[in-house]
Amino acid sequence: MTKKIQFGGHALVWAGDWTPTDARKAISGAAYAGYDYIEIALLDPWKVDTKMTKDLLDEYGIYATSSLGLSPKTDVTSTDPSIIAAGDELLRKATDVVAAIGGKDMCGVLYSNLGKYPGPASKENRANSVAAMQRQADYAGERGINVSLEVVNRYETNIINTGEEGLAFIDEIDRKNVFVHLDTYHMNIEEDGMAKAVEICGDRLGYVHIGESHRGYLGSGNVDFDTFFAALKKINYAGPVAFESFSSAVVDPALSNTLCVWRNLWSDSDDLAKHALAYMKERI
């Protein structure tokens, strides 16, 4: 039986927090829009009620993946052992949450601070990140979880900004459950077109984010989605594909400011989500 792409929606399309009310709004919104799963941001995994979350996922018949980015206080590229230890602790806790809710995929900027660095990474910074990802991969692997490291633009990390750099980085990590995570929003800034990175990653592409150049409605910005989806078909990609969009209409106290979400690009979460799913399915 041919494996089919699973489509998901980022929780911030519907809700900015993970209270019982917000979790129900996000999970039910993703289910009613027709998504297979919801991607939950685990910036503070200690706040997530795993039983409540799992019960809601079961109630609405979808599953969950997770994403997160590190902060300066948890940056595993740091030369401060206490900051690296805090990063390890955060990643392990997030992994425990994913396992408790039945998830099989973690993604995002797990390998560095999610933010602009004042200069390039040193050899020590990179080596510390690689070592942390080896520890994270081993911990996640024991729980049956894949780790996909998101390639983001130069203003959000100094470790990996292109798919080619992402492949070289996971080569250094050298773990079977570690993959590259590509995001069309970041590719539109950094890559030579929308196909090359997909094609060179091939079966080492483990997760995909679909986001428009301004983070709004798909097809209303500058991203060449037709070329991107054609490249996914060319490599027979059959992994998770998550729609990611941000607007000041839905605010996460930490992530919205980190990602500079100042504009109100949409206000109707359900219309946005249904439009995105139809748009993606039409191209795949």
Q: Which residue has the higher pLDDT, 262 or 157?
A: 157
> Which listed residue (39, 150, 191, 212) is catalytic?
150
* 212 in Cβ contact with 223 (< 8 Å): yes
Q: Residue 153: CA atoms inside 13 Å, Cβ hemisphere, count?
A: 11
> 66: helix, coil or strand?
strand
State pLDDT tens for residues 114-129.
Answer: 999 999 999 999 999 9
Q: What is the DSSP string of 86-144?
A: HHHHHHHHHHHHHHHTT--EEEEEEEEESS--SSPPPHHHHHHHHHHHHHHHHHHHTTT
**What whole-number distance in Å separates Cα of residue 10 and Cα of residue 228?**
20
Give me the pLDDT at residue 249, please. 62
pLDDT at 91 over 50: yes
Active-site residue, 150 included: yes
Whole-structure pTM value:
0.95
In order of their start, the domains of the chain are 6-283 (3.20.20.150)
State pLDDT tens for residues 140-157.
Answer: 999 999 999 999 999 999
Active-site residue, 244 included: yes
pLDDT at 23 over 50: yes
> Which listed residue (156, 191, 212, 244) is catalytic?
244
Which of 193-202, 212-221, 242-251 shows the lowest mean pLDDT across its residues? 242-251
